[in-house]
Amino acid sequence: MAVTLPEPVRVSPLIKTCRWTALGLGIWWGTKRYAALKAEEDEIRAYNAKMKPIWDAEKAAKAAASNREQMIYLAKESGTPIPEGF
């Protein structure tokens, strides 16, 4: 390994300030965006968690109603007597 590396470059002050300002701006922007997106996502998650039991109940009711209708149709087609109050 006899490669001689060149001397480090003296970077102009403008480039240095721009770089580190860009880094700082990026960190600020990242934290700001993250906070905003997290708030939105938390709202959506809370809404879904709140509505889940309601939606589950609605789905179960719908499934029970359609199941009942199908059983009645099957009973009619196959001639089975339908019990009272079904």
Nearest distance from residue 30's CB to other proteins, in Å? 2
**Residue among 2, 10, 79, 85 that touches other proteins (CB under 8 A):** 10
Residues contacting other proteins: total by CB under 8 A: 32
Place of tokens 């509505």: 51
Residue closer to other proteins, measured from CB, 46 or 72: 46
DSSP letters for 11-75: --HHHHHHHHHHHHHHHHHHHHHHHHHHHHHHHHHHHHHHHHHHHHHHHHHHHHHHHHHHHHHHH
Residue 46: half-sphere exposure toward Cβ, Cα within 13 Å: 6
Nearest distance from residue 1's CB to other proteins, in Å? 9
* Interface with other proteins in residues 12-71 (CB under 8 A): 12-20, 22-34, 37-38, 40-42
Which residues contact other proteins by CB under 8 A?
Answer: 5, 8-20, 22-34, 37-38, 40-42
